[in-house]
Amino acid sequence: MSLVVIKLGGAVMEQAEPALNLFRAVAQMQEKGFKVVLVHGGGIFVEQQMQAQNVVSDKLNGLRVTPDEHMPIVVGALAGYANKLLVSYAKQSGVNAAGISLADGGLTTATEVSSELGAVGICKANSAALVMALTDANIVPVVSSIAMSETGRLLNVNADDAATVIAQLLQADLVLLSDVDGVLDGNRQLIPELDEKKIEQLVVDGVITDGMIPKTRAALATARSLQRPIAVANWRYPERLADLLAGAPVGTRILP
């Protein structure tokens, strides 16, 4: 069986139908022999909870700044509500899923990125045992981007980076789902392929901005590690996932 890691953001969870369509596509992929692992963020839910509690959240280079006092909100939104909402959508779509986090089962270990970002971590792979046990049982792991340090401190990890680490650990294909068809040029046209030189030039030119910066760099790191292209594609068309993994020209391919 082929392993594939699919990363999705909070946008796909804002409305039920896109998420249900995604899990219907996952069910079809399972029927075709794929083992699927989902990794998710959910910044929209963090923002909603912070606004409800009158808490101000900042970003630095596309990454959320997370003081320790914000972590109860962040963990509750990501590892709690967003994670279980996805498991609910999976059930409604006929997919057996289990909601876990980067902190569970020794999957990863995280360290703080910098004091500027606060409780924001970068994770490294530890053990695939839990994820493999689930996929071997035909259960889809739904992994939130909350990780844990060696000392047990909870850290918020960028979900693109989290998906990258898991894909490398599993030696799996990686698809990063976005709210656009892929990486777009200055005229908002799809760029079919990108390598490191082109990515960094587009960052300098201000074409690749905000959350797409860590997304493309994470994809590049994984492409190099696995020595295979990584896809950035639109979550609105989940029915294209199987075609994408079969080599069809869908989204933007990040080359190693």
Q: 105: annotated binding-site residue?
A: no
Q: What tokens were used for 117? A: 């970002």
Any bridge partners for residue 12, and if so which?
Answer: none
Of 43, 118, 121, 211, which is the active-site residue?
A: 43
What does the alpha-carbon distance between residue 249 and residue 243 come to, in Å, rounded to a whole number? 8
Q: Check if 215 is active-site.
A: yes
Ramachandran angles phi, psi of 42, nearest 5°: 145, 40
Q: 42: annotated binding-site residue?
A: yes
Indicate if the alpha-carbon torsion angle 23, 29, 35, 38 is positive or negative.
negative
Q: Check if 124 is active-site.
A: no
Q: Check if 10 is active-site.
A: yes
Counted residue by residue, the chain has a size of: 256
Q: 138: annotated binding-site residue?
A: no
What does the alpha-carbon distance between residue 21 and residue 95 come to, in Å, rounded to a whole number? 12
Q: 156: annotated binding-site residue?
A: yes
Of 181, 182, 211, 215, which is the active-site residue?
A: 215
Residue 118: which residues within 8 A CB-CB, separation 6 or more? Answer: 65, 66, 67, 68, 70
Of 160, 161, 173, 181, which is the active-site residue?
A: 160
Of 7, 118, 161, 182, which is the active-site residue?
A: 7
Residues labelled catalytic? 7, 10, 43, 160, 215
- Annotated binding-site ranges: 42-43, 64, 156
- Annotated binding-site ranges for substrate: 42-43, 64, 156
